Structure 1
């Protein structure tokens, strides 16, 4: 680190940006075998936790707006991984449900988290602790 506060190598934002880009690219490479993009994978992760979820709940979980989420849902629907329907109790609520094909894909994706941790493993860095710390930073910044 230099003493120049405005030096690029001293900026937290750049370190986070660069690491985020590289981790996302690594996910991209692993997700090719599932025929999913990284944002589609995030949607599927939520649906694998809970086989049915409302669009608003999904948007909140992923911190995405509907303009970003809608094309992802359309693509996943066209791939046959989920369906989108109206909640019979509340027609205003859109509900996403995993299809049998979406459930099968979960099995193929099981190895992804461990592969990421293995690829990112660095001596002297506790990746699980790093994740906890990044989550704490996110909570702090989100108010």
Structure 2
């Protein structure tokens, strides 16, 4: 359950910004329970997220992630609630923090 919430948080951030550096994602998530590398790998494997190089003129060692068309469709299929950061989990519960 927790990993879906984090997946959604990463997808939503990428949905808003298109591309985000790994360092920014780590700062945005800021939760010790979340293994960012593992979950980003999973998101890449399912095709929701893609790894890209750093923008020209930036640190070339930096990894940047962007949302894919499939990832955008996943967020958009949330029924329109993505615009306020509230989504519905597969079991029907809201992902809004209590």
TM-score, normalised to structure 2, is 0.70
Alignment match, 1:99: 68
What are the residue-to-residue correspondences of 1:58-137 with 2, within 5 Å? 58-64=25-31, 68-89=35-56, 90-109=59-78, 110-111=80-81, 113=86
Residue ranges of structure 2 left out of the alignment (5+ in a row): none
Question: What TM-score do the two structures reach when normalised by structure 1?
Answer: 0.50
**Structure 1 ranges of 4+ moved more than 6 A:** none
How many equivalent pairs are there?
86
Between the aligned partners of 1:49 and 1:108, the Cα distance in structure 2 is 15
Q: How far has the Cα of 1:102 moved from its partner?
A: 0.9
Question: Could you say which structure has the higher helix fraction?
Answer: 1
The verdict on how the C-alpha distance between 1:108 and 1:86 changes in structure 2, with shifts beyond 3 A counting, is same
CA distance in 1 between counterparts of 2:7 and 2:87 reads 19
Change (3 A) 1:114 1:54: closer
* Structure 1 unaligned residues grouped into runs of 5+: 1-27, 29-35, 121-130, 135-143
Cα 1:71/1:115, change in 2 over 3 Å: closer
Q: Does 1:46 align with 2:13?
A: yes
